[in-house]
Amino acid sequence: DAGVTQSPTHLIKTRGQQVTLRCSPKSGHDTVSWYQQALGQGPQFIFQYYEEEERQRGNFPDRFSGHQFPNYSSELNVNALLLGDSALYLCASSSWPGHTEAFFGQGTRLTVV
Amino acid sequence: EDQVTQSPEALRLQEGESSSLNCSYTVSGLRGLFWYRQDPGKGPEFLFTLYSAGEEKEKERLKATLTKKESFLHITAPKPEDSATYLCAVQGEANYQLIWGAGTKLIIKP
């Protein structure tokens, strides 16, 4: 049983560019949440998708947007990249929005130069 | 405002030396408190969910406990493979997002 998979694993982008990160949830899960984790810090909630809609959003600017597809996979898009966007981006899946036994992918390490 | 504070930031132990990690929290109605383990460069790995004060859960050398203000992760006779960052998170009744602490980096020396 495949767990949560994220792609790519590493990415280097230039300031001002746009990036798309991808996530496939664990089999049987329909809810995807995205987190940003800076070095030495805990994850920060970006947003959550359920039934192809953004259900909740953390304190992140509109440059961060997402999408969920009918097969429950999800994308995170970040526009106009800033140096401060460099972080580990984590995707977590669960069986419904309120279910808190979330399973995480290995993350995408984004470096903005 | 919901908040989670973990202590200590780092903890170095000798193999077999038991200790505890602390997670203090403030939340408007606790839906659940969660412990995760994170290895360098990897995503967090789920360990425990605790829902109400007095609840305890165990897994191998780890035991998590919960009070109304804090949770402890007790590590008994740790081994070097227990070295990792241990993260605590809470979910309040207001919404479903997890609020995370900064973690405790645990190093077990052989």
Residues of A in contact with B31 (CB under 8 A): 98, 100
Residues of B in contact with A100 (CB under 8 A): 31-32, 34, 49, 91, 96, 98
Give residue-wise pLDDT tens across range A33-47.
999 999 989 999 999
Nearest Cα neighbor of A6 from A109, A105, A110 is A105
Confidence band for B63, pLDDT divided at 50, 70 and 90: very high
- Locate A83 and state its tokens: 């140096």
Confidence band for A100, pLDDT divided at 50, 70 and 90: low
- Locate A11 and state its tokens: 């990415």
What value does the mean pLDDT take over residues A70-77?
A: 97
Give residue-wise pLDDT tens across range B68-102.
999 999 999 999 999 999 999 999 888 778 899 99
Separation between Cα atoms, residue A71 and residue A52, nearest integer Å: 9
Helical (H) or strand (E) element with B48: strand B45-50
Separation between Cα atoms, residue A61 and residue B5, nearest integer Å: 25
CB spacing of A44 vs B100 below 8 angstroms: yes
pLDDT over 90 percentage in chain A? 87
